[in-house]
Amino acid sequence: MGGGEVKKVAVIMAGGTGIRLWPRSTEKRPKQFIHLIGDGTMIQDTFDRLSKKFLTEDIYVTTTSEMAAVVSEQLPQLPQENIIIEPFARNTAPCIALSAILLGRKYSPDTILAVFPADHVIFNNEEFYDSLETSFDAASDLKGIVTIGLHPTRPETGFGYVQVKKDFHGNLGELYERGVRYSTTFAEKPDAATAKRFIDSGDFLWNSGIFIWRFDTFWQSIQKYWPEDAELFNVLRDHIGKDTFKENLEQTYRQISSLSIDYAILEKADNVFVVQSSFRWSDLGNWDEIYRLMMKDARNNVFEGDVIPINSTNCFVSSNGKLISIIGLNDLIVIDSDDALLICRRKQSDDVKEVIDFLRRKQINRFL
Burial state string for 68-98 with b = 16 or more CB within 10 A and e = fewer than 16: bebbeebbeebeeebbbbbbebbbbbbbbbb
Same domain, 146 and 248: yes
User: Is a pLDDT exceeding 90 seen at residue 27?
Assistant: no
CA 244/CA 218 separation, integer angstroms: 25
Q: For residues 112 and 140, is the Cβ–Cβ distance under 8 A?
A: yes
Same domain, 225 and 152: yes
Beta pairing, strands 112-117 & 8-13: parallel
Among 294, 352, 299, CA closest to 318: 294
Task: For the chain, give the percent of residues with pLDDT over 70.
Answer: 99
Q: What is the mean pLDDT of residues 315-328?
A: 95
More confident residue, 13 or 263: 13
Instruction: Give the domain-ending residue among 259, 282, 305.
Output: 282
Same domain, 268 and 119: yes
Same domain, 84 and 19: yes
Instruction: Give the domain-ending residue among 242, 264, 282.
Output: 282
Same domain, 163 and 251: yes
- DSSP for residue 169: -
Give pLDDT, residue 146: 95
Among 26, 12, 259, CA closest to 117: 12
CA 106/CA 157 separation, integer angstroms: 40
* Max CA distance (Å), the chain: 66
What tens digit of pLDDT does each residue of 116-153 get? 999 999 998 999 999 999 999 999 999 999 999 999 98
CA 263/CA 30 separation, integer angstroms: 24
Same domain, 194 and 210: yes
Same domain, 269 and 295: no
What tens digit of pLDDT does each residue of 207-235 get? 999 999 999 999 999 999 998 888 998 89
> How many domains would you assign to the chain?
2
Average pLDDT value for the chain: 91
Task: For the chain, give the percent of residues with pLDDT over 90.
Answer: 65
Same domain, 36 and 102: yes
* Weakest-pLDDT range from 83-87, 165-169, 345-349: 165-169
CA 258/CA 205 separation, integer angstroms: 25
Is 354 a domain residue?
Answer: yes
Q: Which CATH number goes with the domain that contains 182?
A: 3.90.550.10
User: Is a pLDDT exceeding 80 seen at residue 253?
Assistant: yes
Same domain, 264 and 303: no
CA 275/CA 271 separation, integer angstroms: 13
Instruction: Give the domain-ending residue among 216, 249, 282.
Output: 282
What tens digit of pLDDT does each residue of 75-131 get? 999 999 999 999 988 889 999 999 999 998 899 999 999 999 999 999 989 999 999
pLDDT band (50, 70, 90) for residue 328:
very high
Q: Computed over its alpha carbons, how large is the radius of gyration of the chain?
A: 21
CA 332/CA 328 separation, integer angstroms: 11
Where does residue 140 rank: exposed (0-12), middle (13-18), buried (19+ CB within 10 A)? buried
User: Is a pLDDT exceeding 60 seen at residue 4?
Assistant: no
**DSSP string across 7-45:** -EEEEEE-----GGGTTTS-SSS-GGGS-SSSSS-HHHH
User: Is a pLDDT exceeding 90 seen at residue 365?
Assistant: no
Same domain, 301 and 240: no
For residue 37, give the 3-state DSSP assignment.
coil
Give pLDDT, residue 305: 94
Question: Taking the CA of residue 127 as centre, how many other CA atoms within 13 Å lie in the half-sphere pointing to its CB?
Answer: 15
Is 72 a domain residue?
Answer: yes
Give pLDDT, residue 2: 43
Q: Give the length of the chain.
A: 368
CA 63/CA 69 separation, integer angstroms: 10
For residue 259, give the 3-state DSSP assignment.
coil
Indicate the helix (H) or strand (E) that contains 241: none
Is 16 a domain residue?
Answer: yes
Same domain, 87 and 137: yes
Is 109 a domain residue?
Answer: yes
CA 92/CA 15 separation, integer angstroms: 9
More confident residue, 366 or 306: 306
**Residue 134, number of CB atoms within 10 A of its CB:** 23
Is 1 a domain residue?
Answer: no
For residue 99, give the 3-state DSSP assignment.
helix
Who contacts 145 (Cβ-Cβ below 8 Å, separation ≥6)?
139, 211, 212, 213, 217, 218, 221, 265, 266, 269, 271, 272, 273
How far, CA to CA in Å, does 144 sit from each of 29, 180, 213, 361? 36, 12, 6, 43
Same domain, 294 and 278: no
Is 3 a domain residue?
Answer: no
- DSSP for residue 313: B
Is 2 a domain residue?
Answer: no
Give pLDDT, residue 1: 40
How far, CA to CA in Å, does 3 sit from each of 259, 276, 318? 31, 17, 43
Q: Which residues pair with 5 in a beta bridge?
A: none
Structural domain containing residue 356: 287-367
Among 107, 181, 114, 187, CA closest to 142: 181
Among 14, 10, 9, CA closest to 86: 14
Give pLDDT, residue 275: 95
Is 158 a domain residue?
Answer: yes
More confident residue, 19 or 1: 19
